[in-house]
Structure 1
Amino acid sequence: MSIENKLAELGVTLPEAPAPAANYVPFVQVGDMVYISGQISAGEDGTLITGKLGDTLDVAAGAAAARRCAISLLAQVRAACGGDLDRLVRVVKLTGFVNSTVDFTQQPQVVNGASDFLVEALGEAGRHSRSAVSAASLPLGVAVEIEGIFQIR
């Protein structure tokens, strides 16, 4: 089954790859590796998912925001692959940044929203190494930002 078909089965339609908001590129390809710039949490309609974990957001809301970041990462991978997402070989690594209070310690559970989605959508190719860290604040007040490294053919 193609990746796009699996996403459709999950009820997910990838958005157009978000354009960078400053002087950087959304992805860089080196050999068969694609490095995707951080994708911030935004809903299907493009509205930013903002808030601070441990204050205005709970873990479930943070995980949902992380899932949206993973969807944007796949949109960038599709763009890097010239529109053919089936060129994706595997997810190599994610780095998740969680906008959270000083005493919040459940960053891994938040970033699980992205990791679980990628495994659900891609199977074994979605399994990856990962870091999940806290941030005192993130751009535009978003809840989560995730960057990724992907292998393509």
Structure 2
Amino acid sequence: MSIDLMAKLADLDLTLPDAPAPAANYVPYVQSGAQLFISGQISNGPDGLILGKLGADMTTAEGAAAAQTCALALLAQANAAVGGDFSKIKRLVKLVGFVNSTPEFTEQPKVVNGASDLMVAVLGEAGRHARSAVSAASLPLGVAVEIEAIFELN
């Protein structure tokens, strides 16, 4: 993929955050052959963690915005994994999204669309991916969303 990640994000009025450090005993990413596995990234914006439970104290739109912050962190981790040379990324293969939600909440796919839409906006056709969007009774630190990714490398 020949993309200037920083320029594309700037066109969207977004900036790439620093790649978050692991919060426990794991690594932020692992390369296995031509696949890059990015550990789950939690919803964290410029003002700190985005906490809440969809269906209780957060709207679907707020959840989608939280998912977008996860996507930015995933891109930051991918960028770190390739040493800042985003041309080494061929495509996004899969996202797995976890939504902190009540048992009655059924709009997990709309929440995770916040990440999916950003990936397609930034990566174009190479950002179209397989996906899961599932409910979780609770997520680490009480965050609203956590998303992990698999990228294919050139």
For Structure 1 versus Structure 2, the TM-score category normalised by the shorter chain is over 0.9
Question: Could you tell me how far apart the structure 2 residues matched to 1:89 and 1:7 are?
Answer: 18
Amino acid in the other structure paired with 1:5: A
Partner of 1:81: 82
Aligned length in residues: 152
RMSD: 0.9
Partner of 1:40: 42
Partner of 2:115: 114
Question: Could you tell me how far apart the structure 2 residues matched to 1:16 and 1:34 are?
Answer: 18
| 1:3-152 mapped onto 2 (5 Å cutoff) | 3-45=5-47, 47-152=48-153
Describe the superposition over 1:33-74 as per-residue Cα deviations: whole angstroms up to 9, x where unpaired: 1000000000024x0000000000000000000000000000
Question: Could you tell me how far apart the structure 2 residues matched to 1:85 and 1:4 are?
Answer: 10
Q: Is the 8 A contact 1:3 1:86 kept in 2?
A: no
Deviation at 1:4, TM superposition (A): 2.0
Percent of paired sites with the same residue = 66
Amino acid in the other structure paired with 2:93: V
Deviation at 1:75, TM superposition (A): 0.1
SS at match of 2:49: coil
Question: Could you tell me how far apart the structure 1 residues matched to 2:152 and 2:6 are?
Answer: 17
What stretches of structure 1 of length at least 5 have no aligned partner?
Answer: none
Amino acid in the other structure paired with 2:15: T
Question: Could you tell me how far apart the structure 2 residues matched to 1:98 and 1:86 are?
Answer: 31
Question: Could you tell me how far apart the structure 2 residues matched to 1:70 and 1:152 are?
Answer: 18
What stretches of structure 2 of length at least 5 have no aligned partner?
Answer: none
Amino acid in the other structure paired with 2:30: V
Moved more, 126-135 or 6-15: 6-15
TM-score (norm 1): 0.97
Moved more, 11-20 or 122-131: 11-20
Q: Is the 8 A contact 1:4 1:85 kept in 2?
A: no
TM-score (norm 2): 0.96
Deviation at 1:95, TM superposition (A): 0.2
Describe the superposition over 1:82-123 as per-residue Cα deviations: whole angstroms up to 9, x where unpaired: 111222111000000000001100000000000001001110
SS at match of 2:104: coil
Describe the superposition over 1:112-148 as per-residue Cα deviations: whole angstroms up to 9, x where unpaired: 0000010011100100000000000000000000000
